[in-house]
Amino acid sequence: MVVYVDTMARKTDGDLPAISDLVELGLAKRGIALAQPVESIVEATALFVQHGLRLLVLLDEVEAAYVNVGQRASCEKLQYELYHIGGVVGGTYAAYLCGSSSCLPQLISARKESAVLLKTFPLLEHAVDLNGSKFPQHHLASAWISDADEYRELLSTMGARNASTDQARQVALMCGCNLRFISQALKRDVVNMREACSRVASS
């Protein structure tokens, strides 16, 4: 099951959405009857184990959980849920935390040495350390519009051999990653895929 947590989409009371609330909705859509509401992520974990389910959590703009003091309860609940997810072994959970702040590593690791950081993210003061080894950080660099030729090469690799420069630039604008890294990875995956297909065909 996949849960997308948009921290910019507030509930009617202004609080951040909880992962456990979204899990409850997801279970209901699967026709899994619940004797009582899912109150915590611990209860949700027990339900997943009981029904043999796995959960992929996609959380956007995670830094919002460290900003608004007026939403302290819901922010701290979300932080705790992430902390719990990071500690569950056995493959029940996979989680991707995304954000646009350059301070994400400090927020994830609950580093509170900077007064400027605490002023910008006041809920960091009592935040739990989510553990940078459980949630390792990866920076996705912005694409350059001048990478049009690289994008055309990538599109050609993926089968679009007659892509124009304008089309390549449009892809560059839509993609938030540095193509120089993406193209190398994709080319490697394509080569591996072709080699695997060749081995299957010859066996």
Strand partners, 94: 56
Contact 65, 6 (CB under 8 A): no
| pLDDT at 133 exceeding the cut of 70 | yes
Q: Tokens for 60? A: 């956007």
Contact 176, 140 (CB under 8 A): yes
Write the pLDDT tens digit of every residue in 3-50: 888 887 665 557 888 888 888 888 888 888 777 777 788 888 888 888
Residue 74 confidence (pLDDT)? 87
Q: What percent of the chain has pLDDT over 70?
A: 70
CA separation for the pair 82, 97 (Å, rounded): 9
Is pTM beyond 0.85? Reply is no
Residue 7 confidence (pLDDT)? 80
| pLDDT at 174 exceeding the cut of 70 | no
Q: What is the mean pLDDT of residues 128-157?
A: 71
Residue 121 confidence (pLDDT)? 92
CA separation for the pair 197, 158 (Å, rounded): 16
**Predicted confidence band of residue 71 (pLDDT cuts 50, 70, 90):** confident
| Least confident residue range of 36-50, 96-110, 116-130, 182-196 | 182-196
Q: What percent of the chain has pLDDT over 90?
A: 3
Write the pLDDT tens digit of every residue in 181-199: 555 555 555 566 566 656 6
Residue 100 confidence (pLDDT)? 81
